[in-house]
């Protein structure tokens, strides 16, 4: 990937799933990756180990994104270690998967704290470390902003707000040479979340078959599919793309599937 060598990227929630795949993809392009995690020490170490085994460079940094002090400290550690930050991938998220009528104040606060409060705080702290031209901020959104997914009302609302912030940040940061975009994955294979959607094994298989049948590309997505889009948006070839929400769902949003 032209122009990506020796850059530094911070990927939040990179100890597993989409975050891990993004970290591996960016490292494979010659980028030094900061693998952020909250409490999965072994998983974060595994991500760093994978990157190093494949010839890349990575370090792990722990931070609780619900704690504003941790957010600031995380960026300070990146600055102290590398003196710069070229790419910020806002991937971390957490929520309570329940109907909105059952959501309590703590569920709401936690969902919005991680998805929105921490994201903006990270952008504010990270932007001064970015180069005059070529900085990249990419938020990972979700398919629940496009279609109803039962029990996803809280996370969908937070992600939809994040997509709006992406457009505003793209406008505000364009003069600073920073591009801001979001990636909106469809249902993803090989993560824990499909089992949340489907319940038990039988329910999950039904959930899975229904979506594969409705997807024009004939399969579910993978974390690597999403990571490929993120990597492209980080490249010099994507210089003219900013303020966009890139849907990567194999065409599923073109169909009438709604749950």
Q: Compute the distance between CA of residue 207 and CA of residue 220 in angstroms, rounded to an integer.
A: 11
Asked if the model's pLDDT at residue 2 lies above 80, the reply is no
For residues 115 and 194, the model is more confident at 115
The answer to whether 109 and 65 have CB atoms below 8 angstroms apart is no
For residues 65 and 194, the model is more confident at 65
Structure tokens belonging to residue 49? 């180990």
Q: Which residue has the tokens 């319940």?
A: 199
Determine the Cα angle at 137 with ends 143 and 18, to 5°.
Answer: 45
Determine the Cα angle at 89 with ends 177 and 57, to 5°.
Answer: 100
At 5, the pLDDT band (50, 70, 90 cuts) reads low
HSE-up of residue 178 (Cα within 13 Å, Cβ side): 27
Distance of CA 175 to the CA centre of its chain: 24
Residues 94-133 pLDDT 10s: 999 999 999 999 999 999 999 999 999 999 999 999 998 8
Element holding 37 (H helix, E strand): strand 32-37
CATH entry, 8-186+223-249, from 3.30.750.210, 3.40.50.2300, 1.20.210.10, 3.40.50.720: 3.40.50.720
Element holding 247 (H helix, E strand): strand 245-248
**Domains of the chain by residue range:** 8-186+223-249, 195-220
Of 73-82, 136-145, 198-207, minimum mean pLDDT range: 198-207
- pLDDT value of position 194: 56
- pLDDT value of position 258: 55
Asked if the model's pLDDT at residue 1 lies above 50, the reply is no
Mean pLDDT of 161-184: 98
**φ, ψ (nearest 5 deg) of residue 230:** -60, -45
High-pLDDT (> 90) share of the chain, %: 83
Mean pLDDT of 59-87: 97
Distance of CA 147 to the CA centre of its chain: 19
- pLDDT value of position 202: 79
Give 206's contacts (C-beta < 8 A, 6+ positions apart): 198
Determine the Cα angle at 56 with ends 236 and 231, to 5°.
Answer: 30
The answer to whether 43 and 16 have CB atoms below 8 angstroms apart is yes
């Amino acid at each position: 990937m032209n122009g990506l060598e020796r850059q530094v990227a911070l990927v939040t929630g990179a100890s597993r799933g989409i975050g891990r795949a993004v970290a591996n993809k960016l490292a494979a392009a010659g980028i030094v990756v900061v693998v952020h995690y909250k409490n999965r020490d072994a998983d974060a170490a595994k991500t760093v180990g994978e990157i190093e085994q494949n010839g890349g460079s990575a370090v792990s940094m722990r931070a609780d994104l619900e704690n504003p002090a941790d957010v600031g400290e995380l960026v300070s550690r990146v600055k102290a270690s590398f003196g710069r930050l070229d790419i910020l991938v806002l991937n971390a998220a957490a929520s309570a998967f329940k109907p909105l009528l059952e959501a309590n104040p703590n569920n709401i606060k936690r969902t919005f704290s991680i998805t929105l409060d921490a994201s903006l705080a990270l952008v504010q702290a990270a932007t001064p470390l970015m180069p005059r031209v070529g900085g990249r901020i990419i938020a990972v959104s979700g398919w629940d902003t496009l279609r109803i997914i039962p029990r996803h009302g809280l996370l969908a609302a937070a992600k939809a707000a994040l997509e709006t912030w992406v457009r505003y940040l793209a406008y505000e940061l364009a003069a600073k040479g920073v591009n801001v975009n979001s990636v909106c994955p469809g249902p993803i294979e090989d993560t824990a979340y499909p089992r949340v959607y489907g319940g038990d094994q039988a329910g999950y298989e039904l959930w899975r078959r229904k979506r594969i049948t409705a997807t024009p590309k004939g399969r579910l997505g993978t974390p690597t599919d999403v990571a490929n889009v993120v990597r492209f948006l980080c490249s010099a070839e994507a210089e003219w793309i900013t303020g966009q929400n890139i849907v990567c769902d194999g065409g599923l949003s073109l169909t009438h599937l709604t749950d």
